[in-house]
């Protein structure tokens, strides 16, 4: 039975970096294991969402074959189910960033915290914030959290803005997405209603932000970090509020293949669960090598039990947002050396297995944000001839033109799998 491995490297695509001899991190990285796959590979260079710079939820959904404009009800639902919360229809679920504000001006939307610090702040907020609605605040990873506020008969409305600068909401009927903006504003905005029905929702969330931020400032975590002169967690940024579950097709039934997901972040776990995949319980380790080793072990186990495996590696995007392009290409080299190296011990392209490597969006290490760009895609299968390189430029110049949109990647891949079995 042929197998499929679908690897999404978060924010992998990038700009050319002058300090890397005008290469991108992907083209600069040494990738000897990936080079072995080029003998039977095809390149794609599809758009994710046209002229808009996507968030990770849009990019992952599109890569997995779901048009986010038709299926997403808001990233918050995925984030909250990914951390283990159980929102009900009418509750509002939100992605939360813990950041820093000084003199009512934005310092950072990301205050990186240890897991112990995050859990302590989770406890403080759940115990000390008082609003007229019940709620659950759950720590994620790094600076991330999920928030569910329970409705009391009258359902909350999704028609609200974000208070995180740099992400603008757009609606497609009742389907909802956010897009990265080319914004350098440091103004702190309140959440605004887009419709009259959303006024109460916006008021409740602004009240929660004010009270939770006060709890953060008086927390032991804040006090200790201030004494150590470390970045401070004193403000909550909420975005992508959702009030209903996304109605996504079951990927197993659609293609007749049993899917598993090896993903460590709440967002991708939430998407994989909504798609009907079996989600492996892996953590997102701070040490990249340890993280990739754990994921490799899980994927090898999954390939014994399932037909197809979706893997997600997050760290490339995280370092891009910090402008660390050297670390980015070094992580890509570790992906090649550890993850792909171990996968090649069990995958057999010559016998009909398929390997895919792509990203959910491009993240510029120069601009430190998501950018509007097509995404590079490598598809390895015995049906294809050889190529010489996998990079943004190689895909741009030599891609297979029949695949124009990221949502078309998965149908192509599963057709290869179906014809190979």
Within 155-263, residue ranges assigned H as helices are 199-217, 220-227, 251-255
Q: What is the mean pLDDT of the chain?
A: 95
> What integer pLDDT is reported at residue 183 of this predicted model?
63
pLDDT in tens, 196-233: 999 999 999 999 999 999 999 999 999 999 999 999 99
What is the CATH number that goes with domain 4-67+248-419? 3.40.720.10
Q: What is the pLDDT of residues 23-69, one digit of tens each?
A: 999 999 999 999 999 999 999 999 998 888 889 999 999 999 999 99
Separation of CA 343 from chain center: 22
Q: Are strands 92-102 and 105-108 parallel, antiparallel or unpaired?
A: antiparallel
- Cα 85 to Cα 204: distance, rounded to the nearest angstrom: 19
**pLDDT above 90 for 107:** yes
Domains in the chain: boundaries: 4-67+248-419, 77-242
Here the tokens at position 231 are 């970045």
Q: What's the average model confidence in pLDDT over 374-395?
A: 96
Q: From residue 330, give the alpha-carbon distance in Å to each of 24, 26, 31, 312, 333.
A: 12, 9, 10, 17, 5
pLDDT for position 400: 84
Structure tokens at 328: 């980015």
The contacts of residue 214 (CB under 8 Å, 6+ apart) are none
Task: Give the helix, strand, coil percentages of the chain, each rounded to 5.
Answer: 40, 25, 40
Does the pLDDT at position 185 exceed 80? Answer: no
**What pLDDT score was predicted for residue 153?**
87
Task: Tell me what pLDDT residue 184 has.
Answer: 63
Question: What are the tens digits of pLDDT across the range 322-379?
Answer: 999 999 999 999 999 999 999 999 999 999 999 999 999 999 999 999 999 999 999 9
Return the closest-CA partner of residue 218 out of 230, 234, 231, 206.
234
Burial of residue 150 (number of CB atoms within 10 Å: 0-12, 13-18, 19+)? middle
When pLDDT is cut at 50, 70 and 90, the band that residue 174 belongs to is: confident
């Amino acid at each position: 039975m042929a197998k499929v491995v679908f690897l999404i490297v978060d924010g992998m695509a990038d700009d050319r970096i002058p300090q890397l001899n005008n290469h991108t991190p992907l083209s600069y990285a040494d990738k000897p294991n990936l080079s072995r796959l080029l003998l039977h590979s095809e390149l794609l260079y599809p758009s994710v969402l046209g002229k808009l710079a996507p968030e990770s939820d849009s990019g992952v959904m599109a890569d997995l074959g779901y048009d986010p404009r038709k299926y997403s009800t808001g990233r918050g639902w995925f984030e909250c189910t990914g951390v283990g919360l159980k929102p009900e229809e009418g509750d509002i679920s939100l992605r939360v960033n813990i950041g820093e504000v000084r003199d009512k001006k934005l310092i950072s939307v990301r205050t990186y915290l240890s897991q112990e610090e995050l859990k302590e702040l989770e406890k403080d907020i759940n115990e000390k914030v008082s609003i007229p609605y019940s709620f659950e605040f759950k720590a994620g990873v790094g600076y991330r959290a999920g928030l569910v506020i329970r409705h009391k008969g009258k359902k909350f409305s999704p028609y609200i803005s974000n208070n995180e600068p740099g992400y603008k909401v757009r609606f497609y009927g009742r389907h909802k997405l956010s897009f990265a903006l080319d914004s350098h504003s440091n103004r702190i905005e309140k959440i605004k209603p887009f419709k009259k029905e959303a006024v109460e929702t916006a008021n409740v969330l602004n009240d929660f932000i004010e009270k939770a931020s006060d709890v953060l400032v008086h927390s032991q975590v804040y006090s200790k970090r201030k004494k150590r002169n470390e970045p401070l967690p004193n403000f909550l940024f909420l975005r992508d509020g959702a009030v209903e579950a996304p109605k996504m097709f079951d990927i197993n039934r659609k293609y007749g293949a049993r899917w598993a997901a090896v993903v460590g972040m709440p967002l991708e776990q939430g998407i994989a669960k909504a798609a009907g995949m079996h989600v492996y319980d892996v953590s997102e380790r701070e040490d990249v090598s340890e993280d990739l080793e754990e994921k490799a072990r899980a994927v090898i186990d999954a390939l014994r039990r399932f037909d197809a495996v979706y893997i997600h590696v997050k760290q490339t995007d995280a370092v891009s947002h910090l402008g660390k392009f050297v670390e980015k290409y070094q992580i890509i080299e570790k992906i090649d050396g550890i993850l792909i190296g171990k996968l090649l011990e069990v995958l057999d392209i010559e016998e009909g297995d398929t390997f895919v490597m792509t990203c959910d969006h491009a993240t510029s290490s120069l601009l430190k944000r998501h950018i509007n760009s097509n995404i590079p895609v490598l598809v390895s299968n015995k049906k294809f001839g050889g190529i010489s390189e996998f990079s943004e430029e190689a895909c741009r110049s030599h891609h297979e033109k029949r695949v124009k949109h990221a949502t078309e990647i998965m149908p192509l891949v599963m057709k290869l799998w179906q014809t190979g079995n």
